[in-house]
A and B are shown apart, each in its own frame.
Chain A
């Protein structure tokens, strides 16, 4: 039971300065599934992701990865524990080349049967990146930067992938490609948390859904259930 949960948050409270952003947030990601974390702007989605990744310290509560607590871990240690972040706004290393962006994230083969990624695997997944391997990453298009951010996260050989608005500002055909990649990564056994503004996109891809509103979890269920609950979508996401 414990081990079927790739990631568990238990009563997590996070503050930004004095403002209380996450209020007793609890949810679990089932291993090998995609969980969509949905909510309006400012609901606390990114804070939640950054708290899991260790960029913000929760004031209270517990986060565990496959049953192992990562409480008090530095971002480096959380990465080592198998959690990788594809951050909002991509945040690739702009002055590094495409290849360098991947190489700096490379991890030694990890224990417990994690898939081991190498540059060449990333290039197979994103052929466009291979064409631009020696370009400075700052000169890539938005879509290419997003692929690089995903590739960089995979290079750390994660078991849990946090994706914070991976489709933000991308053209429709690239959004579709990101969707295809997420499906492929799930096939490979990765557990994924997906934060999205595009509710329809997220509901199409995700297995499970958690809805957050002003820092509190207001609903969770399977994507199939949520997609038909129009009052839920209306009240908390503002879609018809």
Chain B
């Protein structure tokens, strides 16, 4: 009973983590940019959804995705692109920007946690024998799975995806082949940021939105990506599930040590297999 429920909650949390980490991993894997604004986009997505909820839950989620995509595109165009090849500048620039975004959120939405109601038909629980699974968490798991499959299809099975991978393989040669690399990278950045925003919106009914959500989630995204392997969608998926399980069970069983057991696997992985469980070897 305890284990089944815990596992279920772990998977629901893993779904949120995947939405958060997939975009981060995609951007880092393809563009070698550690976008530390990613956690702020997650929080912003949640806030945008709480403001747009009047128009319905789906509109709110869409608004979060579109809002973060647009902002992500701006960040890529105005900041990240100009700092191409300068990793430290990119890290500091995007980190600084995340502080600005977080402060603006505080200004607009105040410091109180804002809840977001799940749509009516997803409230309540599905009963299976003695177990009760909250419908909304089931929904999260399904949505994350669908997004994972779609992302994989886009990257591995479309011409757009092939062009993105070509640009990762050899950026210069991709340009000489007529592939508009910087436009592609903007697309990837928008897509990754949209995923963060959608993740924040979808997570709001279980986490609600509050100041500090960004700095709480960003390290988890880093954990997932380091554990699973940078730039690998499958790695982000596995990393999310592992961290979801460790996080949920850690908080229940060993609340005092929850951070230690969260970061311990990362240390082990870094020591034994620095490229992550499914990471590509750095080129």
Spell out B's residues near A (CB within 8 Å): 159, 162-163, 165-166, 168-170, 172-181
Contact = CB atoms under 8 A, between A and B. Distances in A.
B165 A80 contact: no
Contact of B178 (A76, A87, A91, A96): A76
21 contacts: A55-B176, A75-B172, A76-B179, A79-B175, A79-B178, A87-B173, A93-B165, A93-B166, A93-B169, A93-B170, A94-B169, A96-B166, A100-B162, A100-B165, A101-B166, A104-B163, A104-B166, A104-B177, A104-B179, A105-B178, A156-B177
A125 B163 CA distance: 24
Interface residues of A, number: 26
A113 B244 CA distance: 59
A85 B159 CA distance: 21
A152 B159 CA distance: 14
Interface of A: 53-55, 74-76, 78-80, 84-85, 87, 91, 93-96, 100-101, 103-105, 107, 152-153, 156
The B interface is mostly helix, strand or loop, or mixed, namely: helix
Given A76-B176, A93-B169, 14 more contacts: A75-B175, A76-B175, A84-B177, A93-B173, A95-B165, A95-B168, A96-B162, A96-B169, A100-B162, A100-B166, A105-B178, A105-B179, A107-B178, A156-B177
A103 to B, nearest CB: 6
Given A100-B162, A103-B162, A53 B176 contact: yes
Contacts of A156: 177-178
A117 B177 CA distance: 14
Contacts of B165: 93, 95-96, 100
A30 B173 CA distance: 26
A107 B170 CA distance: 19
B140 to A, nearest CB: 32
What are the 6 A-B residue pairs with the smallest beta carbon separation, nearest first? A79-B178, A75-B175, A100-B162, A93-B166, A93-B169, A75-B176
Contacts of B180: 76
A14 to B, nearest CB: 16
Nearest to A87: B173
